[in-house]
Amino acid sequence: MITNTRIDPNDPGAAAAHPPVATKKKWRRLLRRFTPYFFLAPALLIYGGFVIYPMLDSLMISFTNWDGMAEERAFVGLANYSRIFDDPVAILALKNNLIWTVVMLAVPTALGLLLALGLNRSFKGKNLFRSFFYAPAILPLVGVAGIWAWMFDPNVGLINTTLNLIGLGSFAHQWLGDPNTALYAVMVAGIWQGLGFPMVLYLAGLQGIPADQYEAARIDGAKPLKQFWHITMPWLRETHIIVITLGVIASFKVFDLIYSMTYGGPGQATQVLASWMYFQTFQFFHAGYGSALTWLIALILMVVTIPYIRITSRRSGG
């Protein structure tokens, strides 16, 4: 026999045994709403502990004259930031970063595009050539520095030895020992190592251009140069932005090649912001000033990365 029982609303025991349907639905909605955050919580905790907290701590250190070891940190406000503009080495490092950025954007980007255009065609062994040109990009930068430091060695290096063998010994030079050539010599190593990355990005961009665009242009009588300027370049607009943005970021983060090949010398001729920050923090124990240099780099890169993030988000539909 089925009996209908009525719950007395004044009976707390009965209400607890049979919660209202509306309360159950409310808890289900809350659970569905906060479930993603439960799954994100472990990753957010790790990210906060290993990324956000060190960043904020570094920002606080930049307002002190801390040496990196003392328990107390004396607050000095913006003194470390104003010191940057009174430090001739910091100004030279910023200038070197700008020179590095211009050269490393112009040369690898142009050569990477030319290589991509050549390797986008169908011919035997194209995958081998793609691997050959991309191979330096996967080498560790310390290894690249070792290779090119030997190449530029004034006594037994390949460059000076070759110049002497072909009768151009007068052009042999102390490439890494001359303040006028040291930075550009390191740039050669950077170009050799960084050429493959823009090439791969441009190859991906070229393969996304519809073939019928070129077919229609050929039917209309457009020459290859016109096709390049009016079809290829417009279709690669977003790829250009990504290549340039990542190139600027890499240029202001350069450290390994400078440190391994010249140690910032001769004198201070090849110092960049990242290497000068390292020396100030870990060699001279000026952690506050080193942190200020770090945040100068971060502010410069934020100006570049924010548009990049917006573009990539738009491409992915975010």
Confidence band for 10, pLDDT divided at 50, 70 and 90: low
pLDDT in tens, 110-167: 999 999 999 998 888 888 999 999 999 999 999 999 999 999 999 999 999 999 999 9
Cα–Cα dist 251/246, whole Å: 9
Classify residue 221 as left (phi > 0), alpha (psi -120 to 50) or beta. left
Neighbours of 76 (CB within 10 A): 18
Give CA–CA dist 95/31, Å, rounded.
Answer: 55
Band the pLDDT of 6: cuts 50, 70, 90.
low
Tokens of 70: 């003392």
Helix (H, G, I), strand (E, B) or coil at 116: helix
Which one has a higher pLDDT value, 66 or 317? 66
**Alpha-carbon distance 181 to 29, whole Å?**
67
Q: Where does 89-138 show beta strands of DSSP type E?
A: none
- Please check the confidence at residue 67 and state whether its pLDDT lies above 60: yes
> Are residues 85 and 96 in contact, defined by beta-carbon separation less than 8 angstroms?
no
Sign of CA dihedral 256, 257, 262, 268: negative
Spatial distance between the Cα atoms of 272 and 278, rounded to a whole number of angstroms: 10
Q: How far apart are CA 8 and CA 178, in angstroms?
A: 95
How confident is the model at residue 304, as a pLDDT? Answer: 82
Place 96 in a pLDDT band, splitting at 50, 70 and 90.
very high
pTM (2 d.p.): 0.84
Half-sphere CA count of 13, side-chain side, radius 13 A? 0
Distance CA(153)–CA(151), nearest Å, equals 6
Q: What is the pLDDT of residues 254-310, one digit of tens each?
A: 999 999 999 999 999 999 999 999 999 999 999 999 999 999 999 999 888 887 777
Of 279, 287, 301, the closest CA to residue 80 belongs to 287
Top-confidence residue, 247 or 8? 247
Task: Please say whether the beta carbons of 247 and 100 come within 8 A.
Answer: no
Task: Spell out the domains of the chain, with CATH numbers in brackets.
Answer: 20-61 (no CATH), 80-315 (1.10.3720.10)
Residue 318, pLDDT above cutoff 70: no
The pLDDT of residue 1 is 46
Q: Smallest Cα–Cα separation from 62: which of 249, 297, 243, 245? A: 297
pLDDT greater at residue 52 or residue 8: 52
C-alpha distances (whole Å) from 309 to each of 5, 136, 230, 262, 312 are 61, 27, 27, 34, 5
